[in-house]
Structure 1
Amino acid sequence: MTEQQQTETLQKWMKDHQPLFFKVVRAYAFTRADQDDLFQEVAIQVWRSIPGFREQSAVSTWLYRIALNTAMKWTRRELKHRQGTYDHVEYLLQQNIQQEDSRLAWLYEQITHLNEIDRSLTLLLLDGFSYKEMSEILGISESNIGIKIHRIKQHLISKSKDYNNGI
C-alpha cells in the first residue's frame, strides 16, 4: 500500500466514522485542548494501522478498537504527566454550535466517571455493537460483557434518580 492510498483511506474513514471518533474523544478527554490532542493521536494511530487492516472485521469495529486503545493509553500517559492534578474546566467538544441536550451532557458526565473498560463498553453499547463485537474489540468474554453492562445500567439508573428526579 502506498502512502497516498493510506492517506486516502484515512480521510475516507475519518469522514465516514466521525461520530465514532467524537464519542471516544469526548469520553476520554475533557478540555478542548486535550480533545484536540487525543483526536490527533487517534488519527495518527489509525493511519499507522491501515496497512495491517485485513478486513476480518467491520471497519467500524476495527476503528473502535484502535480509538479505544489509543484513548486508554493516552489517558494513562496524561495522568502520569499531570501527576494527579486536574483543572476542572468546561469540556464540551464543539461538534456543533447548537444547544446540547442537558440529559446527554449528564450521560457523558457519568460516563467519564466509569473505569476504562466500563467507559468503553458504554460507548460501544450506545453505538449498537453486539456483545460478540464488544468481545472482539475489548478482548473479554461475551458473558462478562453481559454482566458488566447490567451493572453499568444499574449504576446509571441509580445515579439518574439524583438527576432532576430521574431521566
Structure 2
Amino acid sequence: MNSTLKDRLLHDWLTKHQGLLLKIVRTFSFTPHDREDLFQEIVFQLWRSAERYNSETAAETTWIYRVGLNTAISWSRKEKTRQKQRNELSHIAPLLNSSSEPSDPRLEWLYEQIGLLNNIDRSLTLMMLDGFSYQEIADTLGVSVNNVGVKLNRIKKHLSQRASEIENEV
C-alpha cells in the first residue's frame, strides 16, 4: 500500500472514529499533554498498521479499537515508568484538565473510576460502554468470551458498589 493510500485511509478512519479514539485517550491518560501524546501515538500506530487491515477478517471499528487499545496499554506501561522518575504535580492537576469538554459530574466520576481499573478492565469497560458484543470484545483483546462476561460482571458490581458508597456518604 503506498503512502498516499495509507494517508487517505487514516484520514477516513480519523474522521469516522474520532469519538472512539478520544474515549480511549481519555480513559488511559489524565492530563491534556498526555492526551495529546497518546492520541498522536495511536494515530501513528493506525497509520503503520493500515496495510495489515483486512476488512474480511475484522470490522473497521474492531480493528481501530484493537490498535487503539493495544497502543494505549503499551503507552500506559511506559508512562508509569516515566512517572516514577519525575514528581507528580497533583496540586495543579485541576488546571491541566481540558475545559473544552462539557462538565457532567457523573461522567467525570465514571471516567475517574474507569481510570482506577487495570488496563484490561479499562479496555473491557470502554468497549462495553460503546456497545460492542462480548465476542467482539474478546476478539479485540484476545481473551475468551466467558472471561469477558466474568470480568464485566465484576466491574459492573464494583462500580455499583462504589456509587452506592458515595451516595450513602452524601
TM-score, length basis structure 1: 0.92
1:81 is the counterpart of 2:90:
no
- Deviation for aligned residue 1:81: 1.6
SS of 2:58's equivalent in the other structure is coil
Q: Which runs of 5+ in 2 are unaligned?
A: none
- Deviation for aligned residue 1:87: 3.0
More helix by share: 2
SS of 1:117's equivalent in the other structure is helix
Match in the other structure for 1:57:
58
Q: 2:139 aligns with which of 136, 140, 144?
A: 136
- Deviation for aligned residue 1:34: 0.4
Cα deviations by residue, 1:26-57 (Å, 9 ceiling, x for unpaired): 01111100000000000000000000001111
Q: Distance in 2 between matches of 1:105 and 1:115?
A: 18
Which consecutive aligned stretches of 4+ in structure 1 deviate over 6 angstroms post-superposition?
none
SS of 1:13's equivalent in the other structure is helix
- 1:16-165 superposed matches below 5 A: 16-55=16-55, 56-83=57-84, 85-88=87-90, 89-90=93-94, 92-93=97-98, 97=100, 99-165=102-168
- Deviation for aligned residue 1:93: 4.5
Q: Distance in 2 between matches of 1:68 and 1:92?
A: 22
Percent of residue pairs identical: 43
Q: Distance in 2 between matches of 1:87 and 1:129?
A: 36
Match in the other structure for 1:4:
4
Please report the RMSD computed on the Cα atoms of aligned residues, expressed in angstroms.
Answer: 1.6
Which amino acid counterpart does residue 128 of structure 1 have in structure 2? G
SS of 1:140's equivalent in the other structure is coil
Contact 1:35 1:93 (8 Å CA) reproduced: no
